[in-house]
Structure 1
Amino acid sequence: MSNCVLVVLGKDGWSVTYTTLSICALKGSTVNISCSYTYPSNHEIKTAFWFTKWESGMDPEDLSSVPGYEGHIEYLGDKKSDCTLRITNLRLSDSAGYRFRLITSGDKIAGSPVSLTVTDVVLEMNPTSVSEGEGVTLTCRTKCTLDPITAYSWYKNGQPITNTNTYSPVYSLFSVSSEDTGRYFCAVKGHEDLPSAEETLTVTYGSRNTSVSVSPSGVIVEGSSVTLTCSSDANPPVDKYTWYKKNVASPKASGQSYSITNIISEDSGEYYCEAENKIAS
């Protein structure tokens, strides 16, 4: 936080001092709005509280009595000089200007507002679907600047990603492979219990590791039947299978499985399949 800021209220003997006039904090965390005050020694304090809304012609409402704030805020101050306010389990809706109100036997005054901005952590992935060899940029964002300078933690499928520049909000994958497919999220160092939502990276690639299985296996006799099944790794999945017999130019069949029934000697030979998806064959 910045150095102490003295806010003088324009009356002799009155002052309010904050450690900062602007606070950026993470959703779900706890923040203390540090504050101290002075007032004329011949006055007696009647009440001291914080508020966010003050309509013209009406007294401001103590936040502790506003529905939804019970157990959410805590006045840590006293009736001497401390006016610190604690807000726990911060919500995005807690973003507001917070003002301290002091009522004494001789007067009533209000301090200047302290601006609180509550931010969540957002992971932006660009793009979310790529072909192998392309690049992806992941950016961990907050809508205000956390103080002090923030470091980041990166995760894939729930596990920490090592060897990353933790002081940069950007994590780059320069040439992705299928192994980079997964669910990613980020968090601010020290607040790993308050991570971003997950983003899923999809890596597409053409068919590979194509193989053929035979059923039944072993020696095939004339008059029997056999089924050949083609399998291949691809993303998106293979949508076209074509069967060939070695040294025969024209395809024999299509589909993932190819059945040969009532086998004769001319069916003998080597068979192979070609697998294709929308990326490549």
Structure 2
Amino acid sequence: MGVAEKIFFGLFLPSVWCKSFHISLPEKIEALSGSCVLIECAFEIEEKYDKDLTESAAGIWFKDNSKNPVFNSRTPSEKHFRGKLTGKIEEKNCTTIFYDVSSNHDGKYYFRIEGNGGLKYNYQKPDVTINVIDSPHNPTVKLYVDEKEVQSQQEVLEGSSVCLSCSAETLCSFPPATLTWSSTSRLPFSLQEKQNQTKLISHLNFTATPLQHTVTFTCTVTYQLQNNNKTAKESLMLHVQYSPKNTSVSVFPSDPVLEGSSVTLNCSSDANPAVINYAWYRDNGEELEQLLRQTGDTLIFNKVISTHRGWYYCRAQNQHGTQNSSVLLDVQYSPKNTSVSVFPSDPVLEGSSVTLNCSSDANPAVINYAWYRDNGEELEQLVRQTGDTLIFNKIISKQRGWYYCRAQNKHGTQNSTVMLDVQYIPQISTSSSCNITDVTMCLCEVDGNPSPIVEWHLSGRPVTNSTIMSISEERLSSTVLRSFITLHHSHTHTSSLLCVTTNTHGTAKKIFQLKQTASFQMDFPSLMIGAAVGATVMAILCITAHLYKKWICKTRREDKTGLVLSDGAVSQENDGESLYSNKVMLSHVGAANMNHTEMLHYSSFDFRNTKRESAEIRGVSSLTADYAVIRYCQTNGTR
């Protein structure tokens, strides 16, 4: 029943109502004991009394045709109901509120207006009936599915849009009445509330899921009174139909499953309506193979073998759909298919971060991983490395090589290997050097990954094999290469030889100094000491040579054969011309032919191959003799 069953607003429509005495009241109002009651009221008077209607006019209420008023807005009394005229009387609004409602307020009421002059009038018809109740009425809950009202017991299909609507009479209370929702399960939903003059309305919106099935939703209206609150509630249980959910497969007996034992797989599922069919499948690696002979919610292996190991699927079905569930039938065995992967994948650049990951198929799972490295002689265990990963935060070239992972469970072990191919820019070994004899031979040993190439540069230009020089290579390993170059004596006049090695990651160079003079000029203290020692030795040699030559000259006056002593150079009289002699003993024939027009004999001297401990060589180590000049000694001893 509504609070106000009928309200007339005709007084506000002058085109309909004539200017005469008239009042608009609700026919019936319900009031909650202990709260308040609000009487919506509007009146009209004859036009001639308009000047007498002011804000000082009195609004008076009478009850049950009594001649004694129960309320007077101008002169309130303790005998009157406690209340207030909330409308503006001068605007013909007589809305009134009574407080502390009790059973005494139950009855019929009419209104009287008293203004200035002759404005005095009783509006005995129509009157308003106030019905006082001790408890509020229960709210009304309705079910809407996809915006259409359905019966509360009707089942809702999963995925539908659901709205639960709750409405309750407003009734007068301070603060105003409220509507609240509760459910037997905490669920997400959206709430919309609105209120009009007679109704409180709240909408609960959500999408139907299996979670709402058999959940009870309760709407409660609460009126806050001065002494206590009064409530009323209404509930609705939701029924949702849905396809199979929470399908699962269990294994009996539980793991471990040993080969040869009996095993049962059991399938269960939650559905509304209940599951009408179960089907079993096995994953054969390419597709799901249906086990046609297996029906019902159980799959039995009387004697399981290792080939039965794998994934098994149960499919549950009802009229709204299907759902699968899978289980791994795990037959135990030692590690298999062990492998090591490199991240990032090859090639691995020196200085980068590298992770080796070891994986293995085992049942039960691998309990221990061990890492080893092949150091060329044996497998060296990396004691500090445990777990299925081996991490190099900043890898270097020396860490290149074969790595082994050993996976172990209680049934056995299995190894797997991987080549960690660390790539780096070429490096030239310190053993690279030159050996200078009659020919110059240089060795350039390089190490790089990918394997580098070697080029030789002479006088700033690359050189190749030719008749005057030869280049050969020797590969020591997949990363180490030796290159040899042989230069004939005529090409050693240049000061430097350059070895250039290159791979995809960079280039390295090394300069070889070919001239000894250039190398000795770099050592100034040795040069000064050598010069001092050389000067001393030369002085001694000059004195000795002077005495020796006098003796030779004397001998020549007696012996005219012109023989030259071995390892020595003598001068002979020959019309004042010089004789250039190889350091060999002249024969008698040679002495007899000294007057031959071709008087020059050239000899090259290479002091670089002499022993360093020779003081004479150290003293003149910076000098290079290309030829020697020998003059005849005159009979009087002059040169």
TM normalised by structure 1 equals 0.55
**Counterpart in the other structure of 1:239:** 276
After superposition, residues 12-27 of structure 1 pair within 5 angstroms as 22-25=28-31
Structure possessing the higher relative contact order (Cα contacts under 8 Å, 6 or more residues apart) = 1
Paired residues, number: 208
* Matching residue within 207, 212, 221 for 1:188: 221
**Counterpart in the other structure of 1:138:** 164
**Displacement, 1:161?**
7.9
Determine whether 1:260 maps to 2:301: yes
Q: Which amino acid aligns with 1:251?
A: L
Find the aligned partners of 1:151 and 1:240 in 2 and give their Cα distance. 49
**Counterpart in the other structure of 1:153:** 180
**Counterpart in the other structure of 1:164:** 191
8 A contact 2:37–2:172 mirrored in 1: no
Determine whether 1:123 maps to 2:141: yes
Find the aligned partners of 1:206 and 1:218 in 2 and give their Cα distance. 33
After superposition, residues 34-73 of structure 1 pair within 5 angstroms as 39=67
Find the aligned partners of 1:156 and 1:20 in 2 and give their Cα distance. 37
- Write the deviation string for residues 90-109 of structure 1: whole angstroms up to 9, x where unpaired: xxxxxxx8348xxxxxxxxx
- Write the deviation string for residues 153-209 of structure 1: whole angstroms up to 9, x where unpaired: 222228798862332624142533334442112123546852322101233321234
* Matching residue within 307, 321, 341 for 1:280: 321
- Write the deviation string for residues 7-29 of structure 1: whole angstroms up to 9, x where unpaired: xxxxxxxxxxxx97632356xx6
**Displacement, 1:138?**
1.2
Unaligned runs of 5+ in 2: 5-24, 39-60, 69-76, 83-97, 110-123, 145-149, 196-200, 323-639
Find the aligned partners of 2:189 and 2:283 in 1 and give their Cα distance. 49
| Secondary structure of residue in 1 paired with 2:163 | strand
Task: Classify 1:194/1:278 alpha carbon distance in 2 versus 1 (closer, same or farther; 3 Å).
Answer: farther
Find the aligned partners of 2:31 and 2:80 in 1 and give their Cα distance. 25
Find the aligned partners of 1:213 and 1:154 in 2 and give their Cα distance. 39
8 A contact 1:207–1:277 mirrored in 2: yes
Task: Classify 1:135/1:228 alpha carbon distance in 2 versus 1 (closer, same or farther; 3 Å).
Answer: same
Determine whether 1:202 maps to 2:217: no
8 A contact 2:158–2:241 mirrored in 1: yes
| Secondary structure of residue in 1 paired with 2:191 | coil
**Displacement, 1:124?**
1.4
- Write the deviation string for residues 114-156 of structure 1: whole angstroms up to 9, x where unpaired: 14386331211234532222111211134x5645886532222
**Counterpart in the other structure of 1:225:** 262
Q: Which amino acid aligns with 1:155?
A: S
Find the aligned partners of 2:204 and 2:298 in 1 and give their Cα distance. 41
Task: Classify 1:160/1:235 alpha carbon distance in 2 versus 1 (closer, same or farther; 3 Å).
Answer: closer
Find the aligned partners of 2:160 and 2:36 in 1 and give their Cα distance. 45
**Displacement, 1:227?**
0.8
Task: Classify 1:158/1:187 alpha carbon distance in 2 versus 1 (closer, same or farther; 3 Å).
Answer: farther
Task: Classify 1:80/1:39 alpha carbon distance in 2 versus 1 (closer, same or farther; 3 Å).
Answer: farther
Unaligned runs of 5+ in 1: 3-18, 41-77, 89-96, 101-109
**Counterpart in the other structure of 1:98:** 107
| Secondary structure of residue in 2 paired with 1:167 | strand
Find the aligned partners of 2:81 and 2:158 in 1 and give their Cα distance. 60
**Displacement, 1:230?**
1.3
Worse-matched range after superposition: 259-268 or 269-278: 259-268
| Secondary structure of residue in 2 paired with 1:196 | strand
| Secondary structure of residue in 2 paired with 1:164 | strand
- Write the deviation string for residues 232-273 of structure 1: whole angstroms up to 9, x where unpaired: 343344332222334534523222222222446775554221
Task: Classify 1:249/1:195 alpha carbon distance in 2 versus 1 (closer, same or farther; 3 Å).
Answer: same
| Secondary structure of residue in 1 paired with 2:232 | coil
8 A contact 2:263–2:302 mirrored in 1: yes
* Matching residue within 207, 221, 231 for 1:175: 207
**Displacement, 1:229?**
1.0
| Secondary structure of residue in 1 paired with 2:234 | coil
Q: Which amino acid aligns with 2:298?
A: S
- Write the deviation string for residues 73-104 of structure 1: whole angstroms up to 9, x where unpaired: xxxxx99555996149xxxxxxxx8348xxxx
- RMSD of the alignment, in Å? 4.5
**Counterpart in the other structure of 1:60:** none
TM normalised by structure 2 equals 0.27
Q: Which amino acid aligns with 2:257?
A: V
**Counterpart in the other structure of 2:249:** 212
Whichever of the two has the greater Rg, that structure is: 2
**Counterpart in the other structure of 2:292:** 251
**Counterpart in the other structure of 1:67:** none
Structure number having the greater helix percentage: 2
8 A contact 1:24–1:147 mirrored in 2: no
Q: Which amino acid aligns with 1:23?
A: I
Worse-matched range after superposition: 29-38 or 259-268: 29-38
Q: Which amino acid aligns with 1:232?
A: S
8 A contact 1:36–1:82 mirrored in 2: no
